[in-house]
Chains A and B, each alone.
Chain A
Amino acid sequence: MPRMRFEDLDKITDRMRKVMSLREGSGQAKITVHMGTCGLSAGARKIMKELIRCADESEVKDVIFSTSGCAGLCSREPMITIELTGQAPVKYVDLTEDKVKRIFAEHIVNGKIVAEYALAIGSEQTI
Chain B
Amino acid sequence: MKSYRTHLLLCAGTGCVSNGSYRIKEVLERELAKHNLQDEVAVVMTGCNGFCAQGPVMTVQPDGIFYQLLLDEDIPQLVEEHLLKGRPVKRLMYTPPEEKAPVPKMSEIGFFRKQRLIALRNRGLIDPENIEEYIARSGYRGLAKALSTMTPEQIIEEVKNSQLRGRGGAGYPTGVKWQSAARHSSDVKYIICNADEGDPGAFMDRSIIEGDPHAVLEGMAIAGRAVGSSHGLVYIRAEYPIALERLNLAISQAREYGLLGKAIFGTDFDFDIAVFQGAGAFVCGESSAMRASIQGEPPEPSAKHTHATEAGLWEKPTVLNNVETLAVVPEIIRRGAGWFAGIGTEKSKGTKVFSLVGKVKNTGLVEVPMGTSLRDIIFDIGGGIQGDRKFKAVQTGGPSGGCLPASLLDMPVDYERLSEAGSMMGSGGMIVMDEDTCMVDVARYFLDFLRDESCGKCTACREGVDAMHQLVSDICAGKGKEEHISLLEELGQAVKDASMCALGSTASNPVLSTLRYFSDEYEAHIREHRCPAGVCKALLTYRIDPEKCKACLLCNKNCPQNAISGVKKKPQRIDQEKCIKCGVCRDVCKFEAVTAS
The answer to whether A18 and B64 touch across the interface, beta carbons within 8 angstroms, is no
Q: Is B259 an interface position by the 8 A CB rule?
A: yes
Q: Establish whether residues B140 and A9, one from each chain, have CB atoms under 8 Å apart when the complex forms.
A: yes
The answer to whether A16 and B133 touch (CB under 8 A), given A3-B263, A23-B7, A24-B125, is: yes
Q: Are B5 and A65 in contact (CB under 8 A)?
A: yes
Contacting A3 at CB < 8 Å: which of B5, B133, B140, B257? B257
A82 at the interface (CB under 8 A from B): no
A15 at interface, CB cutoff 8 A: yes
Task: Give, as a whole number of angstroms, the nearest-CB distance from B6 to chain A.
Answer: 7
Given contacts A6-B144, A13-B135, A15-B1, contact A23 B85 (CB under 8 A): no
Would you give the shortest CB distance from B122 to chain A, in whole angstroms? 10
What residues of chain A have their CB less than 8 Å away from a CB belonging to chain B?
Answer: 1-6, 9, 12-13, 15-27, 30, 32-37, 40, 45, 48-49, 52, 55-56, 64-69
Does B91 count as interface, using CB distance less than 8 angstroms? no
Across the interface, A65 reaches (CB within 8 A) one of B62, B257, B265, namely B62
- B135, A12: Cβ atoms under 8 Å? yes
In the complex, the answer to whether B62 meets A22 with C-beta atoms within 8 Å is yes
Contact A23 B258, beta carbon cutoff 8 Å: no
At the interface, yes or no: B389 with Cβ under 8 Å from chain A?
Answer: no
Chain B residues within 8 Å of A45, by CB: 36
Find B133's partner among A19, A27, A37, A65 (CB 8 Å cutoff). Answer: A19
Q: 8 closest Cβ contacts across the A-B interface?
A: A3-B258, A67-B86, A65-B5, A16-B136, A25-B62, A64-B62, A68-B86, A35-B86
- Judge whether B132 and A16 touch: CB under 8 Å: yes
Q: 8 A-B contacts, Cβ less than 8 Å apart?
A: A3-B263, A9-B144, A16-B1, A21-B62, A22-B61, A23-B61, A56-B2, A65-B62
Query: In the bound complex, do residue A18 and residue B1 qualify as a contact, i.e. CB atoms below 8 Å apart?
Result: yes
Contacts of A12 in B (CB 8 A): 132, 135-136
Output the nearest chain A residue to B144 by Cβ-Cβ distance: A6
Interface residues on B, range: 35 or more
Q: Which of B44, B62, B133, B257 contacts A66 (CB 8 A)?
A: B62
Please name all residues of chain A whose beta carbon is closer than 8 Å to the beta carbon of B6 when the two chains form the complex: 22, 65
A15–B132 CA distance with the chains assembled, in angstroms: 9
Task: Tell whether A25 pairs with B136 under 8 Å between CB atoms, given A1-B256, A35-B85.
Answer: no
By DSSP majority rule, is chain B's interface helix, strand, loop, or mixed? loop
- With contacts A17-B136, A20-B133, A65-B6 taken as known, whether A27 is within 8 angstroms of B144 at the C-beta atoms is no
Q: Are A4 and B86 in contact (CB under 8 A)?
A: no
B148 an interface residue at 8 Å Cβ cutoff?
yes
Cβ of B296 < 8 Å from any Cβ of A? Answer: no
Interfacial residues, chain B to chain A (CB-CB below 8 A): 1-7, 9, 36, 39-40, 44, 61-64, 82-87, 125-126, 132-133, 135-138, 140-141, 144, 147-148, 256-259, 263, 265-266
B contact residues around A25 at 8 Å (CB): 61-64
CB pair B135 A9 closer than 8 Å: yes
Which residues on A sit within 8 Å (CB–CB) of B263? 3
CB distance from A56 to the nearest CB of B (A): 5
A56–B3 touching, CB < 8 Å: yes
Q: Are B265 and A6 in contact (CB under 8 A)?
A: yes
Selected from A4, A32, A49, the residue in CB contact (under 8 A) with B40 is A49
Q: A4-B265, A56-B3, A69-B85 are in contact. Are A27 and B135 (CB under 8 A)?
A: no
The 8 Å CB contact of A4, one of B5, B126, B137, B258, is: B258
Q: How far is the CA of A26 from the CA of B147 in the complex (A)?
A: 31
Determine the chain B residues whose CB is within 8 A of the CB of A34 once the complex forms.
86
A4 surroundings in chain B (CB, below 8 A): 257-259, 265
Q: Which of A6, A22, A35, A49 contacts B84 (CB 8 A)?
A: A35
> Which residue of B is nearest A13, CB measured?
B136
Query: Within the complex, which residue of B7, B36, B87, B132 is in contact with A22, where a contact is CB–CB below 8 Å?
Result: B7
Q: A33 contacts B86, CB within 8 Å? A: yes
Which one of B1, B3, B137 has the greatest number of beta carbons of chain A within 10 Å? B3
Assembled-state Cα–Cα distance A14/B207 (Å): 28
Please indicate the chain B residues that have their CB under 8 angstroms from the CB of A15 in the complex.
1, 132
Please state if B85 and A40 are interface contacts (CB–CB under 8 Å). yes
Q: B136 — which chain A residues lie within 8 A by C-beta?
A: 12-13, 16-17, 19-20
In the bound complex, residues from chain A placing their C-beta under 8 Å from that of B36 are: 45
Query: Which A residues are CB-close (under 8 A) to B4?
Result: 22, 52
User: CB within 8 A of B87: which of A32, A48, A64, A69?
Assistant: A69
Residues of A within 8 A of B259 (CB): 4
Q: Given contacts A9-B135, A16-B133, could you give 7 more A-B pairs where the C-beta distance is less than 8 Å?
A: A2-B258, A6-B148, A15-B1, A20-B133, A23-B44, A24-B125, A45-B36
A20 to B83, CA, bound (A): 19
Contacts of B83 in A (CB 8 A): 67
Q: Which one of B1, B138, B258 lies within 8 Å of A19 (CB-CB)?
A: B1
**Residues in A neighbouring B44, C-beta threshold 8 A:** 23
Minimal Cβ-Cβ distance residue in B for A21: B62
Closest CB-CB distance, A124 to chain B, in whole Å? 17
Give Cα distance in the complex from A107 to B120, angstroms. Answer: 37
CB-nearest residue of chain A relative to B254?
A4
- For the complex formed, measure the closest distance between the CB of A123 and the CB atoms of chain B, giving whole angstroms: 15
Shortest Cβ distance from residue A60 to the other chain B in the assembled complex, whole angstroms: 11
Whether B63 pairs with A66 at a CB distance below 8 angstroms is: yes
Complex Cα distance, B41 from A22, in Å, reads 11
Contact call A23/B148, Cβ cutoff below 8 A: no
Do the beta carbons of A18 and B3 come within 8 Å of each other? Answer: yes
Give the chain B neighbours of A65 by CB distance below 8 A.
5-6, 62
Q: Known contacts A22-B62, A23-B9, A25-B63: does B133 contact A1 (CB below 8 Å)?
A: no
Chain B residues whose C-beta falls within 8 Å of the C-beta of A3 in the assembled complex = 257-258, 263, 266
Closest to B1 in A: A19
Q: Cβ of B137 and Cβ of A20 under 8 Å apart?
A: yes
A44 to B259, CA, bound (A): 45
> Measured between alpha carbons, how far is A55 from B40 in the docked complex, in Å?
12
Q: Report chain B residues within 8 Å CB of A23.
A: 7, 9, 44, 61-62, 125-126, 133
- Whether B61 contacts A9 by the Cβ 8 Å rule is no
CA distance A9 to B142 in the complex (A): 11
CA distance A55 to B144 in the complex (A): 31
Please give the distance in Å from A10's CB to the nearest CB on chain B.
10
A1 vs B257: C-alpha distance when bound (angstroms): 6
Q: Chain A residues near B144 (CB, 8 Å)?
A: 6, 9
B residues near A18, Cβ cutoff 8 Å: 1, 3
Determine the residue in chain A with the shortest Cβ distance to B85: A35
- Which chain B residues border A6 with CB–CB below 8 Å? 144, 147-148, 265-266
| CA–CA, A69 and B39, complex, Å | 21
Cβ contact within 8 Å between A55 and B85: no
A66-B86 in contact (CB<8A): yes
In the complex formed, the residue of B with least CB distance to A56 is B3
Q: Closest approach, in angstroms, between the C-beta of A12 and any C-beta of chain B?
A: 5
